[in-house]
Amino acid sequence: MKDRITIEGRDGAFDAYIARPKALPAPAVVVLQELFGVNADIRKTCDEMAEQSFIAVAPDLFWRQEPGVDLNHWSDAEWKKGLALYAGYNRNKGVLDIADTAHAAGQLDGTSGKVAVMGFCLGGLMAFLTVARAKIDAAVAYHGGDTEKYLDEAGGITAPMLMHLAEEDEFISKEAQAKIKAALADRPNVEIYSYPGCNHAFARHTGTHYNAAAAAMANRRTWQFLRDRLR
C-alpha cells in the first residue's frame, strides 16, 4: 500500500512518501533522496523495499527550500535546479529532519520499532551523517557524495552500516574512496563494497549509468543486511 504522511518535525511539518508491505509488523527504513527530490525513482525504491517486507518512508528533504520537489535528470533545466537545491541544502538541519522522520517512522502503526536509514548520493551522505549523530538502528549509503569531508565523524557510528561505492564514480574520486575506506577500516560494524566498472548512480533505475547487474547485487546485499540487523 502506498500513500503520503506528514512528519511533524521540530522545525515544522513536511511530507513523506510511504510504502507499506502486505505483512505487518515490519521494520521501517527511511529512504533518503538524491538532488532530484522524492521523484519517481525514489518512490520506486520505496515500493521495492515494501516488497521486501519493510515499511519505507521517504521524507521531503528539500521542504525548507521548496516543498514537493520532483525532478528528473534528463532535463537540463531540472538538473540545474536540482544542483542549486543541493548547493543550498542545510545538511545539519537535514540531519534533524531525518532523525525526526526516523522517530515518526518508529511510531507508525505496524512497525516493529526498528528503524534504519538508507540513502543515495546526497541521501547517502545524509545516511552517514545521521547514523553518526543520531540514534539509528542501521544505515545504508549508496555512493554518498562528500562523505570524505566528514570522516572526522566516523567515530560516532556505532550502529551497523553498509556502504556501496562505484569504483569509477565521477563525483567521488578514487582518492576520496580510499580515504573513506581507510577511515572506516578498523570499524567492525561498517561494511564497504566496491563495484568495478560502475559510475555514480549505478543503482538509479532510470540513470544514465544504471548497471542492472551491479544494482541487483547491491540491493540484495542491502536487503539481507537490513533483515539481519533489524530483526
Q: Which residues are catalytic?
A: 169, 200
Q: Record the cell numbers describing residue 164, joined without a space.
A: 556501496
3-state SS assignment for residue 13: strand
Q: Record the cell numbers describing residue 172, joined without a space.
A: 567521488
Measured CA to CA, the distance from residue 21 to residue 36 in angstroms comes to 25
Question: What letter represents residue 164's amino acid?
Answer: H
For residue 111, which of 179, 51, 28 has the smallest C-alpha distance? 28
Q: How many residues does the chain have?
A: 231
129-141 burial code (b ≥16 CB/10 A, e <16): bbbbbbebbbbbb
212 in Cβ contact with 120 (< 8 Å): no
- Strand partners of residue 15: 6
Half-sphere exposure of 46 (CA within 13 A, CB side): 25
